[in-house]
Structure 1
Amino acid sequence: MKNIKAFFGGGTIGILGGLVGLGGAEFRLPMLIGIFSFSAISAVILNKAMSLLVVGFSLLFRSSEISFSFLMEYSQIIVFMLLGSVVGAWFGAGIALKLKSDILYKTIAFLLLFIAGVLLFEQFSFESNGALFNKESYNLAFGVFTGAFIGIVAAILGVAGGELYIPAIILIYGVDAKLAGSLSLAISLPTMLVAFFRYSRDESFKVIFENKSFVVVMGIGSIAGAYIGALLLGVVSNEILIPLLCSILLVSSYKMYGHKEH
């Protein structure tokens, strides 16, 4: 029964994420805590495992439209943002492991609130007018620092961080949104692997092995949902969808802030 709920729960989250162009991990995390009653750190680690699955498949799915060889033409962006994001991911995972449960719940609540704000900002007032700085070296350096911040946030939540990487890449480097999405995935995958490795050194990581079938089933549901969501693009306008998703994040943030261990 738990695995059935996991599949359909992951599928629902995947559809919502696919409609926006995200993996849905931001919405999966509150589900893992609120519906499946995992502790904060266990939910973050499980979320990270499933996010890895979704991001890997998403990068593969998008390769038919944006090839890996084309992405390599922007390898400087990937490399410099990765320099910051992998370091941020390592420290972010370390921070999550050290925080007491009640503080981690509140931290998650704040970061969900932050992501809701970013989504709204990106939807209603975000436009790119070219690269942020005139000098390429400045943009590359700024990418390192931005990547580090996003790496920390993504590691603490167990998410890919696309909702933060994509607007950052567009703003700093002036590329279009579609390319930014694939660049985001290329940066997210190794960044998440670093955070995943950091989590694997802690005793809390055993939650993966204790819930292997759950992770696989919910991960498959998330991938299938993300694919369906991508097919449904255009059915629901972003003017309706984004505020709806932000409302979910706001409610989740409120619940996380006051959440207590059972």
Structure 2
Amino acid sequence: MIAGAVITAFFGAAMAGKLSNEQLERIILVLLVVIGIALIVEGFLPQQIPALLPPALSWRIPAGILFGLAIGLVSSLLGVAGGEVIIPTLVFAFGADIKTAGTASLLVSLPTVLVGALRYASRGAFAEDRTALVNTIAPMGVGSVIGAIIGGMLVGIVPAAVLKVTLGVILNISAFRVFHKVNSSNKKAES
């Protein structure tokens, strides 16, 4: 999965420059709603649902590469780490439990984000306003590290179904915010 994600993260950054903000926002909206609803539904299903893929490595390796290609593309196009796509992929396609999927998501996300960030930087994406970028990244980075430590401590305590439903709700709230922003932008453009 990592190999496929890294390959398309490189090319997705270039593609992102060709899409309008409205097109990217619509893509984000659809992805967030579909994935969010799937996770909420899965949170209410029996604890462990069977994987969509057969257990044979001859199926899982090519599927992992293909899913990785899609994840890398989505991640670099949308400027995200990809966890919102990686976790459901691991849960539904490979039958991983939510906690294992969350941990594995970090391992797939790190090289994907690194390649995407380097590709965006090489295209001059960070050259214009470095101060605003640093003022945003530094506090978010600190918060993310603290959140990851707290999450790591809670992983054995919080039930998997609660994690799935919570992630699904968060994704749908994010989708609502994107939808609200797209509609506001469209109404301003029409005026």
- Quickly name the TM-score band, shorter chain normalised: 0.7 to 0.9
Compare 156-165 and 114-123 and name the one that shifted more: 114-123
Q: Which runs of 5+ in 1 are unaligned?
A: 1-80
Contact (CA 8 Å) 1:132, 1:173: kept in 2 or not? yes
The whole-number CA distance in structure 1 between the counterparts of 2:185 and 2:51 is: 46
Q: CA deviation at 1:128?
A: 3.5
3-state SS, counterpart of residue 185 of structure 1: helix
Q: CA deviation at 1:144?
A: 0.7
How does 1:153-192 map onto structure 2 within 5 Å? Answer: 153-192=74-113
Which of 105, 130, 148 is residue 209 of structure 1 equivalent to? 130
| Residue 30 (structure 2) aligns with | 110
| Residue 44 (structure 2) aligns with | 124
Deviation string for 1:156-199 (max 9, x for gaps)? Answer: 22222223212322444444433332222111111111111111
The one-letter code sitting in structure 1 at the alignment partner of 2:143 is G
Contact (CA 8 Å) 1:131, 1:173: kept in 2 or not? yes
3-state SS, counterpart of residue 203 of structure 1: coil
The whole-number CA distance in structure 2 between the counterparts of 1:164 and 1:110 is: 12
Q: CA deviation at 1:208?
A: 6.3
Which of 141, 147, 153 is residue 219 of structure 1 equivalent to? 141
| Residue 180 (structure 2) aligns with | 255
* Percent sequence identity over aligned pairs: 33
| Residue 93 (structure 1) aligns with | 13
Contact (CA 8 Å) 2:5, 2:73: kept in 1 or not? yes
Deviation string for 1:189-235 (max 9, x for gaps)? Answer: 11111111111122322256232132102221233244445656649
Deviation string for 1:115-165 (max 9, x for gaps)? Answer: 323432442348442572243112100111111111111222222222321
How does 1:233-252 map onto structure 2 within 5 Å? Answer: 234=158, 238=162, 241-242=166-167, 244-252=169-177
Q: CA deviation at 1:243?
A: 5.9
Deviation string for 1:13-49 (max 9, x for gaps)? Answer: xxxxxxxxxxxxxxxxxxxxxxxxxxxxxxxxxxxxx
TM-score by length of 2: 0.75
TM-score by length of 1: 0.57
The whole-number CA distance in structure 1 between the counterparts of 2:95 and 2:24 is: 35
Contact (CA 8 Å) 2:24, 2:78: kept in 1 or not? no
How does 1:15-54 map onto structure 2 within 5 Å? Answer: none
How does 1:116-155 map onto structure 2 within 5 Å? Answer: 116-125=36-45, 127-129=48-50, 132-155=53-76
Contact (CA 8 Å) 1:92, 1:151: kept in 2 or not? yes
The whole-number CA distance in structure 2 between the counterparts of 1:194 and 1:97 is: 16
The structure-2 alpha-carbon separation of the partners of 1:93 and 1:123, relative to structure 1 and needing over 3 Å to count, comes to farther
Q: Which runs of 5+ in 2 are unaligned?
A: none
3-state SS, counterpart of residue 80 of structure 2: coil
Q: CA RMSD in A?
A: 3.2
The whole-number CA distance in structure 2 between the counterparts of 1:260 and 1:169 is: 35
Deviation string for 1:55-98 (max 9, x for gaps)? Answer: xxxxxxxxxxxxxxxxxxxxxxxxxx122111221232222121
Contact (CA 8 Å) 1:169, 1:175: kept in 2 or not? yes
Q: Figure out how many residues of one structure are paired with residues of the other and give that number.
A: 181
The one-letter code sitting in structure 1 at the alignment partner of 2:145 is I
